[in-house]
Amino acid sequence: MLKLAVWLSSIRFKPKMAGHGWAFVGASLIVGCGGSGKMGANGPGLDHRDTEIRHQACDIASSHAQATDANGDGRVDLTMVMDGGREVCRAADLDFDGRVDVWTYFDASGNVSRREFDFDRDGAIDEIQLFAGGQVVEKQRASTLSHHLDTWEKYAGGRIISAERDSNGDGRVDQWWDYKTADCPVIHSDIDGNGQPDPNSSIDYCKETNYKPPDQLESTRPEMLKKDTDALPTETSNTETSGAATNSTKSTTDTSKGSPAKSTTNTSAPKAPASGPGGKP
């Protein structure tokens, strides 16, 4: 528990994300954009990371932009910038407050290549997501009010695999999160400031906190309390594929305790990437 206390003392609190999960963000990625600081044969170095947040241009005022007022209040809620018949990027105001919340960019194949989020509605970018082949591969985050990147995450196959974090804002990575499993990272820390994980500083999050991932909790529950979800309706797409599929979904939904089918449309503002159970960023 002493190691856990030392680790917690190095986490900076983030007032602007309170209420969206943990009040601090404890994740970063190995090998974000710019800088070195890799966990490799020679270990991480003392190189400064590039912490500047750079907004990618999306000319929503151009003659190729198509503006939409979705709620009829006289203000533009969605702007799509076109290049011929291809969408290049778009800006969306999801909470209708007149400010862009999400910027989305597309590659030549029409897949999402980048997203930028303003979670706290202050007009500054809080998170950048990078995609390859339509799947997220990296997230870069500013988890404090300083508006500088301090968290870099790497993803593979849709799940986080590693993270780096600058917990004190000096531009150098001092925490390395290793996600051998999605919910139980092992956290390595540089406490003495030499750019290397300190001996005996590693923390197994689940072991230190006695946290059990949902799959482990389910396996230890009595059989009579386990949920059988195979027969429950699921929502994987908002596209109607066929009449038969629609009727089947409707039938299943109508017979589940008389509850109406869920809507797949979400017009609420995006929530901050809350730090959830299991040390997930």
pLDDT for position 66: 97
- Please indicate, yes or no, whether residues 93 and 14 belong to a single structural domain of this protein: yes
- Please indicate, yes or no, whether residues 210 and 133 belong to a single structural domain of this protein: yes
- Please indicate, yes or no, whether residues 15 and 108 belong to a single structural domain of this protein: yes
Residue 268 in domain: no
> What total number of domains does the chain contain?
2
Distance CA 187, CA 195 (A): 15
In terms of C-beta density within 10 A (0-12 exposed, 13-18 middle, 19 or more buried), how is residue 192 classed?
exposed
pLDDT for position 214: 79
Residue 277 in domain: no
- Please indicate, yes or no, whether residues 114 and 49 belong to a single structural domain of this protein: yes
What CATH number has the domain bearing residue 119?
3.90.930
The pTM assigned to this predicted structure is 0.62
SS3 of 42, please? Answer: coil
Residue 176 in domain: yes
Distance CA 202, CA 178 (A): 10
Phi, psi of 241 (to 5 degrees): -90, -40
CB 94 within 8 A of CB 115: no
- Please indicate, yes or no, whether residues 162 and 255 belong to a single structural domain of this protein: no
- Please indicate, yes or no, whether residues 253 and 206 belong to a single structural domain of this protein: no
The string of DSSP letters for 76-110 reads --EEEEEETTEEEEEEE-TTSSSS--EEEEE-TTS
CB 279 within 8 A of CB 27: yes
Q: Return the beta strands (E) in the chain as ranges.
A: 65-68, 78-83, 86-92, 102-106, 112-117, 127-132, 135-141, 151-156, 159-165, 175-178, 186-189, 203-204
pLDDT for position 182: 81
Structure-token match 């999960």, residue found: 21
pLDDT for position 235: 45
Question: In residues, how long is the chain?
Answer: 281
- Please indicate, yes or no, whether residues 178 and 254 belong to a single structural domain of this protein: no
- Please indicate, yes or no, whether residues 104 and 205 belong to a single structural domain of this protein: yes
Residue 280 in domain: no
Mean pLDDT per 10-residue interval, the chain, length 281 residues: 45 37 34 38 59 96 96 95 96 94 96 96 94 96 92 94 94 93 91 89 90 72 57 47 47 46 45 50 57
- Please indicate, yes or no, whether residues 224 and 248 belong to a single structural domain of this protein: no
pLDDT for position 263: 44
CA 232 to chain centre: 27
Distance CA 31, CA 164 (A): 8
- Please indicate, yes or no, whether residues 222 and 254 belong to a single structural domain of this protein: no
Which among 180, 179, 202 has a CA at the least distance from the CA of 191? 202
Domain that holds residue 52: 2-229
